[in-house]
Structure 1
């Protein structure tokens, strides 16, 4: 991976601008959290890239992304339920799809 962690953090900020994360009043800095997450992911990438074929690496990233989307969807649905709102899985999932992005 040739891109610096700082450049990736900047790209993450740009991606997040399209669909902001509600950090609310969490007790940590948003930028520092992004940097910690990106550093962890870059370290993980370097640890596995030499040991895996490109197709296995792509499968690992797809599976990791699927788990994170699923976990986020479940947390979002739970939050809606706690707020007494109905949960329409298709509506919640739409924000994760290309069709949901306009």
Structure 2
């Protein structure tokens, strides 16, 4: 991977413009959190890149990691909607994560 962590952090910030994250009053800066998360992922990527995992194992690892994040995001979003007294439509919550939802 030739892209710097800071360049990836900048790209992540750009991605967030389409689907912003509400950091609210969290006790840390948005930029610092992005940097810490990206640094952790880049470090894991380098370990995988230099290891002995098969390509299919690496794909499975990334797929499972993404699934965990989407599941966690969906649960948190649903909880927020319920706390606000709104109905929860799982299909609408998952639409941004599907190819159909991007059309």
- Return the TM-score normalized by structure 2: 0.91
Residue 98 of structure 1 deviates from its aligned partner by 2.5
Residue 99 of structure 1 deviates from its aligned partner by 2.1
In structure 1, the partner of 2:18 is 18
In structure 1, the partner of 2:60 is 59
DSSP 3-state at the match of 1:21: coil
Consecutive aligned runs of 4 or more in structure 1 exceeding 4 Å deviation? none
> Where does structure 2 lack aligned partners over 5 or more consecutive residues?
none
Pairs aligned (count): 102
In structure 2, the partner of 1:3 is 3
Residue 60 of structure 1 deviates from its aligned partner by 0.5
Distance 2:19 2:102 in 1: 9
Q: Deviations over 1:22-80 (max 9, x none)?
A: 11121111111100000011111112222212221111101100010001101111111
